Amino acid sequence: MTDVLRRGRASLAFGFLVQGVAFALLVTRIPAIQNRYGVSDALLPVFLAAVPVLAGIGSVTTERLVRRVPASRVLRWSQPVVLLALLGVGAGERLAGLAVSLAVFGLAVGALDASMNMLGVSLQRAYGRSIMLSFHAAYSLGGIAGASLAWVGAHGQWALWVSYLPVVLVLMPAVLAGSRWYVDGEGGGPDGGGGPDTPVTEAVGKAGGAGGAVTFKLLLPLCVVMTAAYIGDSTVSNWSAKYLQDVLGSSEQLATVPYNVYMVTTLLGRTLGDFGVRRFGAVVVVRVGALVAAAGFAVVAGAPGAWAGMLGFTLLGLGLCVLVPQTFAAAGRRAFVLGGPEASDAAVARLNVFNYVGFLIGSPLVGALGDAWSYRGAMLVPMVLVLVTLVYARSFAPESDRYGGGHERPHTADVGRGSNGL
């Protein structure tokens, strides 16, 4: 494998890590943000819902944008915007300023999520083996780092801008420097057929013709899986602490542990997940992940005490962690066969919208069911939704789904220079 691809992989992984840091710094300091701006409990859900809605708009916009400019360029400039918007959230004083900063954050996050997953899918195609989980492992590591930094800031009772400014000052020049090594796949140039920012041109046959051949029917099973995965993820992030304390009777201190355990097991599962895909294939890994996640929800719903609940959240991290990366990879593979790199990018951008759909549905769904029925019963709903993944597992295996481990497909990559126009 060439040095250009290795540098491209390392720089993209760092981009995922930075995104994990930024997102964790925002969501884990929501109470402090609410207090700083005097946001009422009634208004807070509106602000929180606006971010994923605008992120969805940013993702759809990116699908159109990458027809004219490389995905690497979208990623290169959206990531600094996310960091600046985060700083704006911490440094502002008026409610209108918060609204503007969160709006910019949401739009930029949508572009960032879509473009970095586009690059991840194209790099996996160039490698000819599963590496997508490693990028999302970097995101999980960033999330752990960001949550830890947020804890330090909260523990020290620092102002939000004091917590955010050093992170932005360190990470922004780092991501700009690393972005010179981003690697675009075929079709990433301004003319849609390669250019100075398109170092990888793959000689992989296209069964379909035009790059825009992405149909809703092709993506529907994967959209369902993506939505279910993020309903499960948002359930953990929004309800694990409350569930452990109010339902299972844990202490306030112990109630903060499940999400950390979930993040650590997510990192572990994603770190090892690519080896599982190479050895057993994507279909097996997705099925096992869905079953483990469903078992986790079942354990949480039936847990007699706090420590049993912790076991359930541990299983959830190990199971859910493989679904999202493999869904992006499957969408890119299937669309590439039909229409080449442009179709792959379009599929990733459209699928990414359902990331935010799941996030929007998950927390209110569990809360409403918990209030109307019981929180134990509410945990069974994401369990059932995750099990739906088993119905669509074959969607993760177009013609050839096993990368490496004796199943690597033949591929040819003509590698040029990295995309270094800042």
Q: What is the pLDDT of residues 66-109, one digit of tens each?
A: 999 999 999 999 999 999 999 999 999 999 999 999 999 999 99
Binning pLDDT at 50, 70 and 90, where does residue 201 land? very low
Instruction: Give me the chain's average pLDDT, please.
Output: 86
pLDDT score of 154 = 86
Task: Return the minimum-mean-pLDDT range out of 22-26, 41-45, 189-193.
Answer: 189-193
Task: From 228, 211, 204, select the one nearest 395 (Cα to Cα).
Answer: 228
Q: What is the pLDDT of residues 41-75, one digit of tens each?
A: 789 888 888 999 999 999 999 999 999 999 999 99
381 versus 189: the higher-pLDDT residue is 381
147 versus 197: the higher-pLDDT residue is 147
**Sequence-separated (6 or more) residues with CB below 8 Å from residue 274:** 129, 130, 131, 132, 133, 134
Q: What is the pLDDT of residues 156-189, one digit of tens each?
A: 889 999 999 999 999 999 999 999 999 986 533 3
Q: If you compute the radius of gyration of the chain from its CA atoms, what whole number of angstroms results?
A: 21
Binning pLDDT at 50, 70 and 90, where does residue 4 land? very high
Residue 202 forms beta bridges with which residues? 413
pTM: 0.87
Domains and CATH numbers, the chain: 3-396 (1.20.1250.20)
> Cα(150)–Cα(350) distance, rounded to whole angstroms?
32
pLDDT score of 214 = 61
Give the CA angle between residues 279, 288, 137 to the nearest 5°: 70
In this structure, how many other beta carbons lie within 10 angstroms of the beta carbon of residue 3?
10
